[in-house]
Amino acid sequence: MASDAKPSLLAVEQAVRHFHIRASGSAGAGLLRAVDGVSLSLNRGQTLGIVGESGCGKSTLARLVVGLLPLTTGRILVNGGDLWEAGAAGQERRRQCQMVFQNPAGSMNPRRTVGASVAEPLQARGVRNTDDAVAQMLERVGLPAQFASRMPHQLSGGQQQRASIARSLIAQPALVVHDEAIASLDISLQAQILNLLVELQEDMGTAYLFISHDLAAVQAISHRVIVMYLGEIVESANTRDFAERPQHPYSIALRAATLTPDPVLERQRGEIALRGDVPSPMNPPSGCRFRTRCPMAQPICAEHKPLLREVGPEHHVACHFVGPTSTQGALPC
Ligand SMILES: Nc1ncnc2c1ncn2[C@@H]1O[C@H](COP(=O)(O)OP(=O)(O)O)[C@@H](O)[C@H]1O
Ligand code: SF4
Ligand SMILES: [Mg+2]
């Protein structure tokens, strides 16, 4: 039966992005599975946080979502239409998705004024006189309008990141992807930028895909949280459920790594500390990709890949030992 429901603003369906790696030195050639079957959706005006260690495929996913990188397989839909549709419709969908990068200096052209960089997305839409809009947008992100005539190097890191945010929002996109957007700032500036993003979202109704290795920052700003490990989603939940009770062993370990020292929690941390490095996405472990670092791993974990299963309302976990329908019993801990 056809549904009357509006499509999600963003729907990522089984997104795969592999890279062919050439042999170099002692390293052999092969296929690097950066994003390996990721599905997610995001509604208008909401924030979806994506967290995971370095190398888990977060930035690759970000670049896929804003159309900076083509998919190997899968689909990305914006308002129900394909991001890569040929012609004006696809171009308009890609314009609806803007991005803020980790390095604010890198997203501003060093040879152009701040105002010229901020104006670019409007000019791409054919707007000629952008001065007033740039001045207003700079003020909305907490910068004096006169900063439009400055060069990027004359701004501090925090001011540059505010200007990058102004640039991302000036053409009123439906979605902004923030890839480690606060990682280069000190803690107090990080909090200011998170507050600013929340205020701007309330004002403008923009949806955010907020990508970070920092679980606390992701939880502070997101309505929902997705945890990625080696190119795959291992847990997805609304932020309150996730903050109260993460269920995948990797999520529990990530949270333990961010907890403040406390004798009881320290003991927990000892049981589920993250040991070793993320394995190579060119040769991921069989079965569950987390098994080489999981303190609860059992033989089945090497043989069968755990599927993402519902463990509660809108809460999904990919572990053989988590969930009401688990056939393997409770987590062996
Ligand atoms: N253009 C590329 N060519 C080859 N490998 C890449 C490319 N971009 C990313 N990778 C690899 O894909 C994996 C995921 O990288 P990335 O998406 O940057 O992860 P994250 O942002 O979570 O740190 C890494 O192993 C990285 O080296
Ligand atoms: S499936 Fe096995 S290895 Fe993977 S997270 Fe669950 S217990 Fe750990
Ligand atoms: Mg990254």
Query: What is the 3-state composition of the chain as percent helix, strand, coil, each rounded to the nearest 5?
Result: 35, 25, 40
Distance of CA 87 from the midpoint of ligand 3 (Å)? 30
Q: Pairing relation of β-strands 47-51 and 73-78?
A: unpaired
Burial class (CB in 10 A: 0-12, 13-18, 19+), 126: exposed
If you average pLDDT over residues 173-200, what whole number do you get? 94
Chain-wide mean pLDDT for the chain? Answer: 91
Q: Which residues line ligand 1 (CB under 6 A)?
A: 19, 32, 34, 52, 54-60, 281
The pLDDT value recorded for residue 24 is 80
Question: 275-327 pLDDT, tens per residue?
Answer: 788 899 999 999 999 999 999 999 999 999 999 999 999 999 999 999 765 54
Q: H/E element holding 16?
A: strand 10-21
Share of the chain above pLDDT 70, in %: 91
CB of 97 within 8 A of CB of 78?
Answer: yes
Higher pLDDT, 182 or 71: 71
The pLDDT value recorded for residue 265 is 52
Which residue's alpha carbon is at the smallest distance from atom 2 of ligand 1? 19
Which residue's alpha carbon is at the smallest distance from atom 1 of ligand 2? 319
If you average pLDDT over residues 95-102, what whole number do you get? 92
Distance of CA 320 from the midpoint of ligand 2 (Å)? 6
pLDDT band at 264 (very low <50, low <70, confident <90, very high): low
CB of 109 within 8 A of CB of 116?
Answer: yes
Distance of CA 2 from the midpoint of ligand 1 (Å)? 39
If you average pLDDT over residues 255-266, what whole number do you get? 65
Ligand nearest to the CA of 246: 2
Which residue's alpha carbon is at the smallest distance from atom 18 of ligand 1? 59
Question: 70-87 pLDDT, tens per residue?
Answer: 999 999 999 999 999 999
Residue 64 structure tokens: 């896929």
Question: 37-63 pLDDT, tens per residue?
Answer: 999 999 999 999 999 999 999 999 999
If you average pLDDT over residues 172-181, what whole number do you get? 96
The pLDDT value recorded for residue 259 is 64
